[in-house]
Amino acid sequence: MNYKLVPMDKSHLSQVEAIERACFSHPWSAALLEQELYNDMISLVVAEGEDGTVLGYGEVRAILDEGTLEKIAVAPQFRRQGVAEEILKSYLRLGQAHLAFLTLEVRESNAPAIALYEKLGFREVGRRKNYYREEHEDALLMTVEFERHD
């Protein structure tokens, strides 16, 4: 499958919103996603197929040298093909160049995501009790630290 990672823009919003609805119990609206496009602290990328199809997307918020992976999602029909890993690797390269660490929260039952994060160097550093209230599920707090070469 051929795709490229590109900065998210307004042309991607309807497809990203559809992925939001497919992947999250509390999806963000297109309007909220559009607001993020204009936030200087946010990096948004999409994995875009040759025909313009959005396969997945990611969002990182950076404040000073601290990064948080806010979202990463892949359309169900494109999962298990390395898309999320490539998006995450792009953020790890960004982090290595500009951040001290990158942190994320993941549902404790999301074994595939946890395995990917661990494969790419994230480690569990804490737990947010009952973070997903409606599902009565904890979130694992995972972080990868970067060596700085200033």
Would you place residue 46 in the very low, low, confident or very high pLDDT band (cuts 50, 70, 90)? very high
Segment among 29-38, 45-54, 90-99, 131-140 with least mean pLDDT:
131-140
User: Could you give the angle at which helices 83-98 and 111-119 cross, rounded to 10 degrees?
Assistant: 40
Q: Return the half-sphere exposure (C-beta side, CA atoms, 13 A cut-off) of residue 105.
A: 10
Would you place residue 136 in the very low, low, confident or very high pLDDT band (cuts 50, 70, 90)? confident
Instruction: Report the pLDDT value the prediction gives residue 128, as an integer from 0 to 100.
Output: 93
117 given a catalytic annotation: yes
Summarised one tens digit per residue, pLDDT across range 59-93 is 999 999 999 999 999 999 999 999 999 999 999 99
150 within domain boundaries:
no
Instruction: Report the pLDDT value the prediction gives residue 150, as an integer from 0 to 100.
Output: 54
Helix (H) or strand (E) holding 72: strand 66-74
Q: Return the half-sphere exposure (C-beta side, CA atoms, 13 A cut-off) of residue 144.
A: 20
The CA-to-CA distance between both ends of the chain, in Å, stands at: 37
Cα distances (Å, whole numbers) of residue 27 to 30, 40, 77 = 9, 22, 18
139: containing domain: 3-145
62 within domain boundaries:
yes
Annotated catalytic residue: which of 20, 57, 105, 135? Answer: 105
- The total of structural domains in the chain comes to 1
Summarised one tens digit per residue, pLDDT across range 95-128 is 999 999 999 999 999 999 999 999 999 999 999 9
CATH of the domain at 18: 3.40.630.30
107 within domain boundaries:
yes
Determine the average pLDDT of the residues in 26-52. Answer: 92
Summarised one tens digit per residue, pLDDT across range 4-29 is 999 999 999 999 999 999 998 888 88
Residue 52 has pLDDT above 60, yes or no: yes
Annotated catalytic residue: which of 66, 86, 117, 137? Answer: 117
Distance CA 35, CA 128 (A): 27
Instruction: Give the β-pairing of 54-63 and 66-74.
Output: antiparallel
